[in-house]
Chain A
Amino acid sequence: MAIALVLVLVVVGSVLFHVLSPWWSTPIASNWSYIDNTLVITFWITGTVFTAVVLFMAYCVYRFRHKEGAKADYAPENRKLESWLTIVTAVGVAALLAPGLVVWSHFITVPKDATEVEVVAQQWQWNFRLPGVDGKLGTSNTRLVSADNPLGINPDDPDNKNNIIVIAADLHLPIGKPVNMVMRSIDVLHDFYVPEFRARMDLVPGMVTHFWFTPTRTGTFEVLCAKLCGVGHAFMRGVVKVDTEQDYQAWLQQQQTFAQMTAAAQKTGALEHPAGSTNEVAAKAN
């Protein structure tokens, strides 16, 4: 008997928790409100099914619990009922799937006017590279990674000269412009995850992955690594600042290009070893 009551309480409690609890997605900061809409549709459909099934079960347990002399019905099957349930379920599933697939096709179609920004991950920091005035990202190779060239950028590629290099610092993006995040990793798998942007992707050593989004709100957003990448995983944080166009240009002016960076490195002998920051994180992790 108590079980019937508890089943009802589970449903009521779950629904109340869903409605009243303060925990919900972060306020969105990109164009992917479609994803949120699909999520809400899914909540509605699955919530209805959950409520219906558990309440029906609670009713059955209450109504048909064993009483002295009671006998169960004999009902091996009911084709009509089963067919109807199958059809209704299939329709419900289709209602979930259809919007999902439509939004997915948006997700994987990068707009032509998207600017490329390269993310290069390593244990356990985020580095970035932006194209220079000519809008091109030059070639790179993990084999070229060294203390002077932490991103493994090909020094012989003329496209690389004016690429802007951001080592373990904040990335700035202009508001309202689609960006295509082109991503590689020089050591292990990572995942570039900014909860407010909704969109995200893994970074895989040996290949280049990408995803796109348009920032729609200025502000400072934290980048988390969402693929277990070793002991420093939880501390692998970065920052993306979405700026107005003006602020963005101001920031851009202060950044150093690859050519400047190599020149500076030649002057001082060597750039600060990039593993230095890595060790700090590891020390913190331990």
Chain B
Amino acid sequence: MTDVTPQEAEFIPPAEVAEVELYHPHSWWTKYVFSQDAKVIAIQYASTAMAIGFVALVLSWLMRLKLGFPDTFSFITPDAYYQFMTMHGMIMVIYLLTALFLGGFGNYLIPLMVGARDMVFPYVNMLSYWIYLLAVLVLVGSFFAPGGPTGAGWTLYPPQAITSGTPGGQSWGIILMLISLILFIIGFTMGGLNYVVTVLQGRTRGMTLMRLPLTVWGIFTATVMALLAFPALFVACVMMLFDRLIGSSFFMPAVVDMGTPLDHNGGSPLLWQHLFWFFGHPEVYIVALPAFGIVSDLIATHARKNIFGYRMMVWAIIIIGALSFVVWAHHMYVSGMYPYFGFFFATTTLIIAVPTAIKVYNWVLTLWRGNIHLTLPMLFALAFIVTFVNGGLSGLFLGNVVVDVPLSDTMFVVAHFHMVMGVGPVLVVFGAIYHWYPKITGRMLNETLGRIHFWVTFIGTYLIFFPMHYIGLIGIPRRYPELGDTAFIPPSVYTLNEFITVAALVVGAAQLVFLFNLFWSLRYGKEAGDNPWRATTLEWQTAGTPPPHGNFGKELPVVYRWAYDYSVPGAPEDFIPQNDPRPLTQGGPA
């Protein structure tokens, strides 16, 4: 591949996108409620996701109280515990993280970062949000349905998901859960089409793929993966609805449910597991890749340094995305599947560790000889790296087939995935909110409250989840509301459980501080200006803050450079915006 020699910047007429293509709102309703502006839809998505995520947070407190103090909280029955647990998991993974990263950050950042006026199909984009909201309402509805929500665990494994021994199995719980998931997938597909096509087709002039910020790369790749992986969950849900409602036998073998033989015959519970994890594993990266992308941009901006090894970062995202489709059965090592699969899936799983490790190295190497401003977004990015490295490394235990055998379905697994796809991405969400809130609202979030929030969240979550690995190592299974009298469990574990519960409640309280900050700063926050972080990417170069409908005023920006021109030797400032045409970026080691 030949390198292009730097050219004299010549005048390029601004990209001509007719403004008439945009749907301009005429009333309060179409401006703030049934809005077709991606920025409004993003805020709607994010608010809904955070609201339902808060419900899931409360559920986790209830679970922790039961685990830490089983005698005091004996009124939390196993039924209720399993229902809380299932809803907590499902909400956090799908209705919070997926919706927030793709529907929230995707909607807000993609058009701004690629230099588009809006998503390419604004109407479909709006529908996407309303269907998502409907999915959330159906999910919430299951709490009030007779029999309560399903308690089958977020993996919804059959046969137990639809038999009478599981809460919600023979009542409305599981049906509403499946319907809600189906709705979510339909809604997501509508949004996903927008995100993908906007990146493909809506980029402004000069915005080549290799000039995209890594945030866009992460969200784009995650969306492509989601579009291909969610159909697996869709198919699985439809098939389970058939089994549950009309008594077919896709997943249901001949079973005896509490002494009553059921009519099903010959079905395969493992078929569900294959379909579910064919979706479920890419889902991990659907959450992780946007986090990877965003954290890259946070680090580069706040260390005033270009992201180290940009090309490698892009390739790693693509390779991780592709590989994540051939690792799904590492969730099924002890499921009873054909044992020789273990060799294949252990190998692919550990191979995926290599590009992931490279991403970590490059984040850390970006810090090397940087000019590190320890702002809140930077702090959260650093905390993410610690948490993610920890959780990623414990993944090497679980991915390596034979080491997984004693650890599978123990608290070790719970600790692992909370580190790697719970706390890790959530820390990025916080970092991203502290970073982009000034653009979204025009005001900075309060620094003091933010620092309290950061320290309690980072240290607290580490104290919750690091010791939890060792509970699992002893051999304590997950999904036990109480441990009962078990000889091999030392009494100290009960004390540790109490400690973890207290830590979880403290961390939970810190989230209230964050919530308060979000509302308080809306009114009383410091004025931010257009580009408070002195960042290069296009969303900071808009016509106003918050950006108006259409984002860029009369003319779309033209892009002249990549997204990471920080501290360029010879430049008067330590950043050069992407749409700055001045030809003085060269001088770095070629």
Given A76-B588, A202-B336: A42 and B400 within 8 A (CB)? yes
Q: A54-B389, A201-B334 are in contact. Are A23 and B350 (CB under 8 A)?
A: no
- The 8 tightest CB contacts between A and B, nearest first, are A206-B253, A195-B475, A230-B165, A209-B336, A73-B369, A275-B259, A46-B393, A23-B470
Asked if residues B482 and A104 are in contact (CB atoms below 8 Å), the reply is: no
Which A residues touch B152, using CB under 8 A? 228
A interface, over-half SS: mixed
Determine if A250 is an interface residue (Cβ-Cβ < 8 Å). Answer: no
Contacts of B462 in A (CB 8 A): 10
Smallest CB-CB separation from B336: which chain A residue?
A209
Interface string of B568-589 (1 = CB under 8 A from A): 1100001000000000000111
From B389, which residue of chain A is reached at the shortest CB distance?
A: A53
A193 vs B405: C-alpha distance in the bound complex, in angstroms? 10
Known: A93-B396, A206-B267. 4 other contacts (CB 8 A): A72-B305, A89-B354, A97-B400, A285-B78
* Tally of A-B Cβ pairs under 8 angstroms: 346
Residues of A contacting B268 in the complex (Cβ-Cβ under 8 angstroms):
206-207
| Pair B311/A77 contact, Cβ less than 8 Å | yes
Complex contact B480–A234 (CB within 8 A): yes
A177 contacts chain B at the CB level, 8 A cutoff: no
A39 touches B369 (CB 8 A): no
Interface residues of A in 54-81 (CB under 8 A from B): 54, 56-57, 60-61, 64-66, 70-78, 81
CA distance A273 to B260 in the complex (A): 12
| Cβ contacts A to B, 26 pairs, < 8 Å | A42-B400, A49-B357, A57-B367, A60-B364, A66-B304, A71-B574, A73-B305, A75-B305, A75-B306, A77-B310, A78-B308, A82-B361, A93-B350, A97-B350, A97-B400, A100-B403, A108-B342, A147-B259, A187-B159, A188-B255, A193-B409, A199-B405, A202-B334, A224-B486, A232-B165, A234-B483
B303 touches A72 (CB 8 A): yes
Known contacts A101-B346, A231-B78; A72/B369 CB under 8 A: yes
B312 touches A82 (CB 8 A): yes
Contact between B269 and A189, CB atoms less than 8 A apart: yes
Whether the pair A85, B358 counts as a contact (CB closer than 8 A) is: yes
**Chain A minimum-CB-distance residue to B562:** A76
Complex: A90 Cα to B350 Cα, angstroms: 9
User: Which residues of A have CB within 8 Å of B389?
Assistant: 49-50, 53-54
Given contacts A57-B385, A89-B353, A108-B340, whether A187 and B165 have CB atoms under 8 Å apart is yes
Closest A residue to B364 by CB, please name it.
A57
Any A CB within 8 A of the CB of B467 = yes
A window 169-206: CB within 8 A of B: 186-189, 191, 193, 195-196, 198-206
In the complex, how many angstroms separate the beta carbon of A207 from the nearest chain B beta carbon?
6
Q: Which of B124-176 contact A (CB under 8 A)?
A: 151-153, 157, 159-160, 163, 165-167, 169
Q: Which residues of A contact B303 (CB under 8 A)?
A: 64, 72
Contact of A143 among B167, B261, B305, B390 (CB under 8 A): B261
Nearest CB of chain A from residue B250's CB, rounded to whole Å: 12
Does A86 touch B at the CB level, under 8 Å? yes
Inter-chain contact A286/B78, CB cutoff 8 Å? yes
